[in-house]
Amino acid sequence: MLEDHVPPFDSVIMLGDMNYRINGVIGAVTHAMSKNMFEVLQDNDQFLIENKIGRLPKLFKEGKIHFAPTYKVAKERDNYDVSARIPGWTDRILYYSKEDKHLE
């Protein structure tokens, strides 16, 4: 498994569209977003849940998230489309540091 192999580098940064969403119904999620209830939203973040139960490699860490989840922007409009998808922190930045230093 990936976590069994320590990279031969001092640091590794992985960027990606992980496409994880927030568990819940759109109304509850957007309400929590409007009240900046990021802790509640993060408790229901699919990526963090998968990581907590051990389905993701433990090698990488993620910094604190201090912003609201994002929506898909509606094509040819200047607004967000909440009809098809629940918002989420889909684009993630994960890191590994040999000295366990927090990379910013």
Helices (DSSP H) in the chain: which residue ranges? 26-34, 38-43, 46-52
Q: Is residue 104 part of a domain?
A: no
Q: Is residue 102 part of a domain?
A: no
pTM of the model: 0.78
> Which tokens belong to 42?
């993060």
What sign does the dihedral 17-65-31-22 (CA atoms) show? positive
Q: Is residue 78 part of a domain?
A: yes
DSSP 56: S
Q: Is residue 103 part of a domain?
A: no
Q: pLDDT tens digit string along 3-54? A: 557 778 888 888 998 889 999 998 899 899 889 999 999 999 999 999 999 8
88 lies in which domain range? 2-97
Give the pLDDT score at 22: 94
Contact at 8 Å (CB) between 50 and 18? no
Number of domains present in the structure of the chain: 1
